[in-house]
Amino acid sequence: MRRRELVLAAFDRRPEWQVTVQNTDCDGAIIIDNDLFYWGEYEGIDWERVHAGQQHACCYCFRKGLIRKAHLCHNTKKWAAKHPNGWLAKSVPEAFIFELDDIDYIEEALCDVPEVRDMPDGSARWIAKPSITNQATGICIFDRVSHLVTALHANEDLREWVLQRYIERPLLVGKRKFHLRAYVLCVGSLKAYVYSQVLALFAGQPYDTELQDLGNLDAHLTNTCRLGEGEVEEEQAVRLLSELPLMLQGEGMSAEDAEHRIQQVSIDMQAIIGECIDAVSGELTFFTLPNCFELFGFDLMVDDSWRVWLLEANAEPDLQQTGDRLKPVVEGLVEGIMHLVVDPLAHSQGHLASEPAAESGCRVKTDGFWVQVLDKEQGRHLGGSGMAFQ
């Protein structure tokens, strides 16, 4: 189910709102109460109205400090230097920003990253990620500079990269690597929440623990966009973090130990995300507004020593990657956003927020809930009426 359909269904359970669909294509924006509220694509937001306090919107105007890999690399490094005992100092893999203005000057550009340039062949593994692409486009895992150079030539239109030390010993379940996708909601200026139902997204092929074939991306990358190329069906590749204890028990771990381990992963993950939002919120490249909110998808990984690592954050996460089996997860997620954002706005506008359609049997059933991981006052105000989320 597409995001717009989920949002429309949530508003159907709230008859106090007048809902208009801006256009008929599948990603058309949803306009609420004569332009008071906009829920749609970033490109369609009227920022003059938002900054004047005349409209609430589903995105922040400036958020590349979080969602662009190079900006996040810079901001987390800056924070870690000031907070050496914090979570980010120990939970972000070593990484460097690599800028390539001209494909003919790769050797000169590599002078800025001597840690990579000078490594002996096969002595370390790194992953090169373009700063602004998604769906694993252009990603290269390499253990020698010549392989990086080949990848750069194959993607010569991409100018900004992040070279990140590869997590060579990830936690494996069923011999496969996985990463965690956590949904994170930022509201106003500024509260941040993590949705309790976290996805575990598995690679399509068993992981090569000897790291002999770094080019086999189906074993190394865990993006759902690669499922069609791997050996694993969607139902096996997309799980919930809460399902892992049972899977770990099947591999010989005791039930008590499995539950404790996964619970600690969840606690650590929430702490890392909260500190990450705190870190970027002080930058001009992540500028919050009191009448905006935004849903992000955070990607994290657990290594074989149960250490949680922050990899990246994404804007407008794909809610379809849960698949049909876990559709109630995203339905509950959207309903949770309504409770945190839309229902308080209804009260502020003099509406009586509905108890979502309990009488019609349409109430969303979900085990998910939002966990608050940050609550700070940014002191960023609007230039107009000053409407704000409560």
Q: What is the pTM of this model?
A: 0.91
In single-letter form, the type of residue at position 326 comes to L
User: 253-277 pLDDT, tens per residue?
Assistant: 999 999 999 999 999 999 999 999 9
User: 281-290 pLDDT, tens per residue?
Assistant: 999 999 999 9
In DSSP terms, 310 is beta-bridged to 300
More confident of the two residues 82 and 348:
82
Cα 97 to Cα 100: distance, rounded to the nearest angstrom:
10
Cα 183 to Cα 73: distance, rounded to the nearest angstrom:
20
pLDDT value of residue 170: 98
In DSSP terms, 30 is beta-bridged to 21, 39
Which pLDDT band, with edges at 50, 70 and 90, does 225 fall under? low
User: 323-373 pLDDT, tens per residue?
Assistant: 778 888 999 999 999 999 988 887 777 665 555 444 333 455 567 899 999
Which pLDDT band, with edges at 50, 70 and 90, does 213 fall under? very high
pLDDT value of residue 389: 42
More confident of the two residues 308 and 362:
308
pLDDT of 385 over the 60 cut: no
Cα 334 to Cα 331: distance, rounded to the nearest angstrom:
5
Cα 327 to Cα 365: distance, rounded to the nearest angstrom:
11
CB 198 within 8 A of CB 161: no
CB-based contacts of 24, cutoff 8 Å, min separation 6: none
pLDDT value of residue 352: 57
